[in-house]
Amino acid sequence: MRAQKIGLLGGSFNPAHDGHRQISLAALRLLDLDQIWWLVSPQNPLKSAEGMAEYEERLAAAEKIAHHSRIRVSDFEARIGEQRTVRTLAALKVTFPQHRFVWLMGADNMVQLPKWQHWERIMELVPVAIFNRPGYTYKALNGKVAYKYRNQRVLNGLTGDHRRQLADIPPPAWTFLTETTIKLSSTQIRNYHDTTGNTCS
Ligand SMILES: Nc1ncnc2c1ncn2[C@@H]1O[C@H](COP(=O)(O)OP(=O)(O)OP(=O)(O)O)[C@@H](O)[C@H]1O
Ligand SMILES: O=C(O)c1ccc[n+]([C@@H]2O[C@H](COP(=O)([O-])O)[C@@H](O)[C@H]2O)c1
């Protein structure tokens, strides 16, 4: 495969929803990426396994929701037996040395990032793009990650939209994307399902 700029959206996808698709399409456009890979996590180490749908089920539902030639749903983490992002990123860089990766996540995960294993190493491995998310903007932009890497933030500024070069900027480098503010969440879908007994995707 020729060298590509790839956005990595790691997630539980329990279940996948249109918000995942919308932020992926925004990332393709705003960051000038070639592809987005949805890395379906076998189990988020900070979330309870209770209520987590079977892996194959989450993978299949994500395929249906993604439905786009430039979004790929990947079982890479299950195949290499990893749950920790720092290890997944290191493995991806070794497996696909020709590609340039950008880690994508919602503002909720920017707030939580300091609890992840070797989170500073993650920031040193790949550039990171964060999507705004209702209820998390203030905490994310005033939290530990934003403060520690305050001089590495990439902006759409007076000298141009530098976010389009994010994949090529040596990490640490991060940007906060405000173009999307999407209320959808997997929790909301699971709650709806629990209260109505309907399936909803
Ligand atoms: N509406 C959204 N806006 C911005 N980012 C989102 C949105 N929904 C999901 N994400 C991000 O996509 C990634 C995968 O999300 P995940 O599969 O956990 O869905 P979720 O809706 O956050 O799930 P849950 O409600 O169970 O926590 C995470 O980085 C998450 O922050
Ligand atoms: O590496 C960690 O310590 C770590 C801790 C919590 C979450 N993550 C990753 O963060 C991504 C988003 O998770 P989630 O459950 O919010 O969709 C997913 O790829 C998880 O594996 C990673």
- For residue 23, being part of any structural domain is answered with yes
The alpha carbon of 159 and the centre of ligand 1 are apart by a number of angstroms equal to: 32
Calpha distance 82→105 (Å, rounded)? 18
Mean pLDDT of 84-103: 98
- For residue 201, being part of any structural domain is answered with no
For residue 198, pLDDT beyond 70: no
Considering the entire predicted model, what is its pTM? 0.97
Tokens describing residue 191: 């709650």
Q: Which residues line ligand 2 (CB under 6 A)?
A: 10-12, 39, 41, 44-47, 83-86, 109, 116-117
| Count of the separate structural domains present in the chain | 1
* Share of residues in the chain with pLDDT > 70 (%): 97
pLDDT digits (tens, 9 = 90+) for 19-51: 999 999 999 999 999 999 999 999 999 999 999
Residue minimizing CA distance to atom 11 of ligand 1 = 106
- Long-range CB contacts (within 8 A, 24+) of 94-99: 96/1, 96/6, 98/1, 98/2, 98/3, 98/4, 99/1, 99/3, 99/4, 99/5, 99/6
- Name the residue range of residue 176's domain: 5-196
| Those residues with Cβ within 8 angstroms of residue 26's Cβ, 6 or more apart along the chain or in another chain | 131, 177, 179, 180
**Which of ligand 2's atoms lies nearest the C-alpha of 11?**
17
Residue minimizing CA distance to atom 4 of ligand 2 = 116
CATH number at residue 95: 3.40.50.620
Look up the ipTM and state it.
0.99
Q: Residue 32 carries which DSSP code?
A: T
